[in-house]
Structure 1
Amino acid sequence: MWFDAWGDLGRVLAVGASAYVALVVLLRVSGKRTLAKLNAFDLVVTVALGSTLATILLSSDVSWAEGALALVLLVGLQLVVAWTTTRWPASRRVLTSAPTLLLWRGEVREEALRTQRVSPSELRQAVRASGAGDVSRVGAVVLESDGSLSVVPESSLGDASALADVPGAARRGRPGHRRA
């Protein structure tokens, strides 16, 4: 179908504009964390918000009030998860994945690659994207909880205190260097 009725187009314009305004207000009130891609839950909320907005826009079976309530629910649940994980470290371990050390001081951790299903070529790609051309000059590569790869050059590793929350990294630092 190319066209049904002018009323349908008017509904999309009216409901779409008001749903968009509602979403923008919710996102401003809830803060930057709502759309940050810090972990899998954040990604799910971002995708769900987009899907909900599309449903509000295109489905005449969903009223604006129902759609707005769905947006409020998603943002509210995201705030509860964020609040919980920032206040109780044990809940963070349950709800989010820990970062994984994939490379340490130029040595690839093959078992970590296998466990995390990251190929050596993906690891090298991240190293290249960081501007490094020599894996032996990389201090660490970490698979973060959001799925991104962080590359720390050997020259920037310092005491490796930025890796304090990466399992296995704290006991891999230079002798005599203290961990934060």
Structure 2
Amino acid sequence: MKILQDDLSSEATIALIRAHVMDLAGHSPEESCHALDLDALRAPGVTFWSVWESDTIAGCGALKALDDTHAEIKSMRTAATHLRRGVAAKLLDHIIVEARARGFKRLSLETGPHDIFAPARSLYARFGFETCPPFGSYQEDPYSVFMTRALDGPDYSAPSKSSCRQAS
């Protein structure tokens, strides 16, 4: 598998993002759905990566700068064809390394509280993320779980492939 910085122009990438946004919309009311669409993922301050196995997209994720020291993980998604194959863990590790290299001191994310998001929350916890209050412009919301971790703390190696799940 290879991770590439992606300009969001390929049909496969666009299809994965559209499926991601539609799927998440089915689990939260509109005002509680924080998934970024294609235009928002192309905005300044957002870097988007896709994961590929040969010519098949396996997953994606983004890093959004909130300020000079704090960034947010956005649009983490594993393609249905690649679930439980280590895609999310490999990409999450890549995003953490990249965030550190850019000088961010804290990395946060928002995900869902429902059972379908449990594998994502578990993956994030294995990488040192802990629940936290809302950050940035987020507000308390029963449809959101907020997680964060300092980037100057211990490294967490990527979990084994067999323990990886889809991340949102």
Query: Which has the larger helix fraction?
Result: 1
Higher strand share: 2
TM-score range (shorter-chain normalised) is: under 0.3
TM-score using structure 2 length: 0.23
Instruction: Tell me the TM-score normalised to structure 1 length.
Output: 0.22
